Amino acid sequence: MHRRFYLENGQNQRFNLQDLRNGALLVSPAGLGLSMSRGYELTGDAARVVSEVYPLRSFTGVIVFDGTRAYDGYRALVNFIAASTTIRLVYAPRYENASGEFLADAEVESVSKGEIRGGRMECDVSITLKGAWYKRESLRVVAEKTGDELRYDRVYEYAYSDVSTDAIEIYNDGHFEAPVMLEAEGELVNPRLSLYVNGVLRSQLAVTAVIETGETLVFCTKDDELALSKRLPDGSEESLIGCISVENDNFFKLPRGLSTLNLSADNEISSKSVITVFTAYKAV
């Protein structure tokens, strides 16, 4: 089956770019391949890489609108873009389950407006991809008290697991270190999120604060969404930056390969938490 494209906003709402009958069809996409910017130093007859940067990339294509609804479709797309403070380009290389989707943080630079010809309107689109492609996989951790023991049910967004330990093993098969996001419901007293590699503590977020029942600890190490806060019942957030030690490697990312995350606190954890891993790739 054919690959699919969508635009996604900050509320995870999508505009389908692969449905000509009901909206729009993206054709002739360009800018999906590998692109790196490297600096070299020449020593004798040999050159070695001295710097490597993953650059901004330009993604282009043509959006086709059905002639009978072309202008309405064009306005719907423009309204979606204009109303979105955050835009992501979603790319699914083929029809399969959601684990086949990749996302890139993006800015829509232009969408031309052509004339209706042959029952269709074709509009050139230019999108800047601001970072690497990534998969967004969420692991929900639910702790339930059964007798004197806590049972942790972990449900992946795209796969399912019956692991029954509070240590979560994650394999980063991407090309970069992977940012993480934690949303943990209270009550939590002095919560800690620890990263272990080969059984050795590598990094730790240690928050000296109490997250009450009804509140949520929010932590994110994605470069453009760095966050450490307490989400209150009314939806507002209170910064917790002053509640951590600057001596710790607080805003860590997961190394490539296998690592372990452990959520702990000074009290017994009996609430739900969600850990999202953003596995990033140079090309998909």
> What is the rounded CA–CA span in Å between residue 12 and residue 14?
6
Residue 142 sits in the same domain as residue 274: yes
Q: Give the residue from 105, 131, 157 where a domain finishes.
A: 131
Residue 275 sits in the same domain as residue 198: yes
Residue 58 sits in the same domain as residue 24: yes
The residue range of the domain holding 101 is 4-131
Do residues 59 and 29 lie in contact, with contact meaning Cβ atoms separated by under 8 Å?
yes
Tell me the mean pLDDT per 10 residues along the chain, length 284: 86 91 87 87 88 90 90 93 95 68 95 88 95 85 45 34 56 93 94 94 95 96 94 95 91 95 90 90 88
| pLDDT for the residue 69 | 86
| pLDDT for the residue 161 | 31
Do residues 164 and 151 lie in contact, with contact meaning Cβ atoms separated by under 8 Å?
yes
| pLDDT for the residue 137 | 83
Q: Give the residue from 96, 131, 166 where a domain finishes.
A: 131
What separation in angstroms does the CA of 207 have from each of 148, 155, 159, 230? 27, 26, 30, 11
Q: Give the residue from 131, 146, 175 where a domain finishes.
A: 131
Residue 166 sits in the same domain as residue 208: yes
> What is the rounded CA–CA span in Å between residue 131 and residue 152?
34
Do residues 177 and 131 lie in contact, with contact meaning Cβ atoms separated by under 8 Å?
no
Tell me the two tokens of residue 248: 């710790």
Residue 93 sits in the same domain as residue 153: no
CATH code (residue 198): 2.60.120.880
Four-point Cα dihedral 225, 271, 231, 229, nearest 10: -50
CATH code (residue 73): 2.40.30.200
Closest C-alpha to 179, from 128, 141, 219: 219
Residue 60 sits in the same domain as residue 26: yes
What separation in angstroms does the CA of 105 have from each of 6, 82, 183, 194, 250? 12, 16, 21, 27, 24
Residue 140 sits in the same domain as residue 120: no
Residue 155 sits in the same domain as residue 111: no
Tell me the two tokens of residue 109: 């630079």
Residue 36 sits in the same domain as residue 119: yes
> What total of structural domains would you count in the chain?
2
| pLDDT for the residue 139 | 74
Tell me the two tokens of residue 102: 């990749």
- The 3-class SS string of the chain reads CCCEEEEEECCCCEEECECCCCCEEEEEEECCCCCCEEEEEEECCEEEEEEEECCCEEEEEEEEEEHHHHHHHHHHHHHHHHCCCCEEEEEECCCCCHHHCEEEEEEEEEECCCCEECCEEEEEEEEEECCCEEEEEEEEEEEEEECCEEEEEEEECCCECCCCCCEEEEEECCCCCECEEEEEECCEECCEEEEEECCEEEEEEECCCEECCCCEEEEECCHHHCEEEEECCCCCEEECHHHCCCCCCCCCCECCEEEEEEEECCCCCCCEEEEEEEEEECCC
Residue 64 sits in the same domain as residue 44: yes
Residue 127 sits in the same domain as residue 174: no
| pLDDT for the residue 140 | 67
Residue 138 sits in the same domain as residue 215: yes
| pLDDT for the residue 227 | 95
